[in-house]
Amino acid sequence: MAMGVKIAFVLLGLLLVGGLVGREAWNYDPKAYPYSKDQVQAMLVDAKTTLPRRDGDGKIQIWSAGRSAKGVKLNMKYASSAPLLECEAVVTAINPKESRVVADCGKRPGSDDSSAMSRTQDALRSPMFEEHIVATLKKRPFNRDNVTAKETAAVFKNLNGMQQEALQMSADTARQIAEERRR
């Protein structure tokens, strides 16, 4: 009987430890960092990321435009002649020594939520900014593989819709060409 009691206590202990680990994992927030809101803003304002372009022509740069009402304004250029892309790192204090940071890159002006292509283009705006934020706050190098994975996921999420839109555009173009030939 003593052996059965020991086994029961060991199982109960394992269940308790497993429950605590599970609870922590359940409550894990990957966007939370162990810094105050002011510390996060200061780190992001000071951070600058410079990467070589994949095509080898120029550099990609991400930097801060300063603090904002919601957190920190971020800028990015894919080349010196490229248009300026903007995003905001929204910083929310969870408690005095912990903050949550989310990239809010908004939508392109005139983007259409009903279009899969438009939704994909909007989703592709944030992965570079998100990786800049994570790399800065976790004090690690920028990981381009993380960006690629997020971009790939955004494309695959909308792939069926984009195919349908492309087929519809092709059919519309064929119909217009046929109408012009009849005239």
91 burial (CB, 10 Å; 0-12 / 13-18 / 19+) is: buried
pLDDT reading at 119 higher than 80:
no
Among 110, 138, 136, 108, smallest CA distance to 123 is for: 108
Terminal Cα-to-Cα distance of the chain (whole angstroms): 97
- Answer whether residue 132 shows pLDDT above 80: yes
Whether the pLDDT of residue 117 is over 90: the answer is: no
Q: Average of pLDDT values for 127-141?
A: 93
Phi/psi of residue 6, nearest 5 degrees: -60, -45
Residues of the chain with pLDDT > 90: what percent? Answer: 37
Inter-residue contact 43 to 101 (CB < 8 Å)? no
pLDDT confidence of residue 123: 78
For residues 53 and 138, is the Cβ–Cβ distance under 8 A? no
- Least trusted range by pLDDT, from 91-100, 106-115, 142-151, 152-161: 106-115
Tokens representing 97?
A: 């020594």
Whole-angstrom Cα distance, residue 128 to residue 108? 16
Read off the pLDDT band of 85 (50, 70, 90): confident
- In sequence order, what are the beta bridge partners of 98? 95
Tokens read off for 114: 């009903």
Q: How many CB atoms lie within 10 A of CB 107?
A: 14
Ranges of each domain in the chain: 32-171
Q: In 10 A of CB 117, how many CB atoms?
A: 15
